[in-house]
Structure 1
Amino acid sequence: MATKPKTFSRGQLAKHSGVKAETIRYYESCGLIKPPLRTSGGHRIYSADDANRVTFIRRCRELGFSLKEVNGLTELAYNDDISCTQVRELTSDHIVDVQGKIKDLKKMERVLKSMINQCDENTSPDCPIIEALSS
């Protein structure tokens, strides 16, 4: 079984964490991860802690947390005084946002199905979907 490296280049970190190298650079610019150490040749060196943090951020983003929310979660996760209650509250607030998005998506689905039904019933050369999208 291969052991996990103690340090990573940006490319290695990207492969290990499942994000693109440009995303890692973006996370640095946003302050989600600290600027890495550099070799004497100027190459970035990321630690195993950085790898864990980038993976944590990726998983948060996959669940739809905003960058602001991710920042709050990372501050809580990497703080010795972590409070599960604070994490729970942030996650509960996020669920409300997700439920709102689901409601909006269901409404869009109904509208799109209605447009398709109008198109199915129409035999004229004018397309009701194009007309609805144009108006």
Structure 2
Amino acid sequence: MRIGEIATRLGLNPKTIRFYEARGLLPEPERLPSGYRDYDINDETRLTFIKTAQRLGFSLNEIGEILAFKERDEPPCNYVLSVLDARLSEIDRRIGELVRLRGELVALQERADQLSTDGASYCGIVEHASRIRIKTTD
């Protein structure tokens, strides 16, 4: 199938598919006599894997490493699990930061009408938050 067909089937832009080829994530397909790329079911399966891995937060480099395991006939699952562990730790850290930030914003919002905006360069509410970290309840 041609690049437009596979792109439409998978909800990808043809430029994205060419980019994956340039990055080595997708082998260059056979060419038709007309010069058009000719993709097959293996390419579709690989592109679906790449899309799914990206949705799960894997970087293109990590996806490339997983694909390299496959090409060496080695199971990639230990590598995948180590990446997932690192990703989950990062997500937990970011969630903690977001919870703290939310608390700070709620406290700032609750106190906004009490804050003086006289002499503020931009916005007294934001400037107040930069001078004093508002106590929040976690």
Q: Whole-Å Cα distance in 1 between the matches of residues 87 and 24 of structure 2?
A: 21
Unaligned runs of 5+ in 1: 1-7
Q: Which residue of 1 aligns with 2:64?
A: 71
Q: Whole-Å Cα distance in 1 between the matches of residues 68 and 126 of structure 2?
A: 48
Whether contact under 8 Å (1:118, 1:128) holds in the other structure is no
Count of equivalent residues: 128
Other structure's SS at 1:89 match: helix
Whether contact under 8 Å (2:7, 2:14) holds in the other structure is yes
1:42 aligns with 2:26: no
Q: Which residue of 1 aligns with 2:75?
A: 82
Whether contact under 8 Å (2:29, 2:38) holds in the other structure is yes
Deviation at 1:118, TM superposition (A): 4.3
Per the normalisation by structure 1, the TM-score is 0.72
Residues 61, 83 of structure 1: CA spacing in aligned structure 2 closer, same or farther, 3 A cutoff?
closer
Whether contact under 8 Å (1:57, 1:70) holds in the other structure is yes
Per the normalisation by structure 2, the TM-score is 0.70
User: CA-atom RMSD, angstroms?
Assistant: 3.0
Q: Whole-Å Cα distance in 2 between the matches of residues 28 and 132 of structure 1?
A: 51
Q: Which residue of 1 aligns with 2:135?
A: none
Bigger radius of gyration, 1 or 2? Answer: 2
Task: Give the percent of matched residue pairs that are identical in Structure 1 and Structure 2.
Answer: 29
Q: For each residue in 1:7-58, what CA deviation from the matched residue of structure 2 results, as whole angstroms up to 9, or x when unmatched?
A: x221221222232222212211211111122222221111211111111111
In structure 2, what residue type is equivalent to 1:66? S
Q: Which residue of 2 aligns with 1:117?
A: 110
In structure 1, what residue type is equivalent to 2:88? I
Whether contact under 8 Å (1:76, 1:87) holds in the other structure is no
